[in-house]
Structure 1
């Protein structure tokens, strides 16, 4: 018969081995997936960083920013955060540089100046040229505006000259002496414009008065013609007394007037034996 103590020890060791094995299995089940996920996340991080670097090298800064952003989903890395921000800045810088070139070619110098001013100092490839183009845009815009001011002033279009001076002075492109000169010219053009407007108003009033006089004269001539025509025509029922006077019957030799509660009745007597009868100033009957 085996020793009971030995049997107990054997049984205890067996239980310990089972427990250890169970623990190992649990650890493997938990750790392996985590390790695999970590390896997969690391691969995705590295792939996006590599693509971001490739895009950055090819100046596809929008794509680079997207790849770096994707990489940061799998790992926090300050270096990649910095490259993402740099890609964003360079994308904006490149966009404004290209826009500035187009605007400059289109002679839209003020907008070109503004676009070049947005080119970042971090954009070492384009910054120096952008600074040069910005200065050239400023110069060309100033020259164009000065030319327009002179042209408008020479053609006596003072309002447009004043507008161009306003456009130029607000840019602060000018040195103090030129700025002062333009402000003096603006005051001069304001005075000339006021005089020009006053002369135009006087001229317009004179033309309106002349037109009104002409129209009044025309109406008078038409009325005279109408009266002359009426003198050649007879009378008809419904005429007013004035119309009868203006007609070929003219003024009567005698007027017999009767006033009653119903109004005023008149009989006009003519030397040709004709009679006209009026009720309240309106011709109601004719007797020849």
Structure 2
């Protein structure tokens, strides 16, 4: 055996002895970042403190909020949704005015442009049913001091992939913001109603039943429990209060329209209502008391009874003549009550 071969065998034996021993430990290599990598800032939704959805009164306070673009039955049928753009329209118009060689093509700034059933706009499925973070409010520099004719645009960041930045234009003429719903508003409604009891407050009253949509009467005094706040599928922005009763089933009340809500009281409100009904029945009889509670009036009533039902008028016009004193109570431009010697004679709507 030559010397080179002997030297290799000796090294191999020493290596096996060294690392084969249980007393020998191998150092673990660790890594550390001496410079911390920057992570993108996360949008934080600002707290929402209103029981109103996005509207002209609060449009400025929507920055930092999360909006949901709800279904619209007509737009869904067309397959397009109007109003979502890739830049504010008034900014695009300003660019066109500065560059006369620029071809004015409004369709070019519509996000995910498509045409459906003769209508043009954004591809419906690409924008509807999505959540948007309101990054900022952009005001048209040409806006004057007066509210009329003022133009604005929301810069919106899509919360779902592909996380695009888009814009929604509106003006001071618009009192209704498409089908956008503030998610904070829904959360406020849930805090107010979900898990709480509401009571039917009128005889021969009722609500629409879930599943059939048919109006069903529910006895006065029936306690219903609110199970959830929901959005009516495909019906723009109708927000519904979902109610359950073990015997009568599941119903809904439309919070947007508010008509059904007039038939419901909280337990505290219902207690006050019963006390008021008892007091009115003692003064005017049960039949008249029931009409007053429903804010109705009847000829032959006294001024005190009418005031109990409709409240104080905006103004009163008094006319005296040979036949006595006539009073006109004005409630609006088309709503009047006429009294002859203190008795209601005419009701004008």
TM over 0.5: no
Bigger CA radius of gyration: 1
TM superposition score category, shorter chain reference: under 0.3
- More strand as a share of residues: 2
Q: Report the TM-score when normalising by structure 1.
A: 0.21
Using CA pairs under 8 Å that are at least 6 residues apart, name the structure with larger relative contact order, 1 or 2.
2
Q: Report the TM-score when normalising by structure 2.
A: 0.19
